[in-house]
């Protein structure tokens, strides 16, 4: 029953650990003396998981400190950084967003039909998560009618649309 409660209400997990640590001195000492346990508890409490792919060289205590600061900033909506993106091109189409990455689609037209597509990709920075700002452009020699992305899975799916000159 406790496992179900933890699964259904991850925010109560931290409170449950606190109550247990007050009742049992050994649990309290184990949690208080272990940055690794505190990090796992805080990850779960915030509904996050450990991203082993990011090799930022930080130790567990540093990662815990950043995670706690991230949670505090999110609770208070205190932005730690901002990024300005210039969207002056009239052909920019509304963005697609996945896990802190924005993708803007730009089109090139010939004889009234879109023939080329550029995807301007912006990785939004996060000092608390150790993610730098990055920008790059992908160019395709066809019209991308729609797209979807899942950054966590390293996935970008494009749908090509061909236009015929006979109006069909």
Q: Which residue has the higher pLDDT, 75 or 80?
A: 75
Question: Does residue 82 form part of some domain?
Answer: no
Q: Which residue is listed with tokens 């900033």?
A: 73
Q: Which residues are bridge partners to 116 per DSSP?
A: 108
Q: Is the pLDDT of residue 53 over 90?
A: no
Tokens of 117: 């597509």
Please name the helix (run of DSSP H) or strand (run of DSSP E) that holds residue 147, with its range, or none. Answer: strand 144-150
Q: Please give the model's pTM, rounded to 2 decimal places.
A: 0.54
Q: Determine how β-strand 113-123 pairs with β-strand 101-110.
A: antiparallel
pLDDT at 36 over 90: no
State which residues form the domain around 102. 92-160
pLDDT greater than 60 at residue 24: yes
Q: Are 103 and 141 members of one domain?
A: yes
Q: Go through the chain and tell me how many residues it has.
A: 168
Average pLDDT estimate for 69-77: 76
Q: Report how many domains make up the chain.
A: 2
């Amino acid at each position: 029953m406790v496992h179900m409660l933890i699964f259904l209400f991850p925010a109560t997990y931290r409170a449950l650990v606190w109550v247990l640590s007050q009742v049992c001195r050994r649990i309290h000492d184990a949690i208080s003396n272990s940055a690794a346990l505190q990090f796992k508890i805080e990850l779960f409490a915030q509904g996050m998981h450990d991203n082993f792919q990011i090799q930022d060289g930080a130790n567990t205590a540093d990662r815990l400190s950043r995670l706690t600061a991230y949670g505090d900033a999110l609770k208070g909506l205190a932005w730690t950084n901002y990024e300005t993106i210039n969207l002056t091109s009239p052909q920019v189409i509304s963005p697609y967003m996945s896990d802190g990455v924005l993708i803007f689609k730009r089109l090139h037209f010939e004889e009234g039909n879109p023939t080329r597509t550029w995807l301007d990709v912006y990785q939004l920075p996060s000092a608390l998560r150790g993610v730098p700002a990055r920008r790059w452009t992908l160019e395709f020699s066809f019209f991308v009618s729609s797209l979807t992305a899942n950054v966590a899975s390293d996935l970008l799916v494009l749908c090509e649309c061909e236009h015929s000159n006979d109006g069909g």
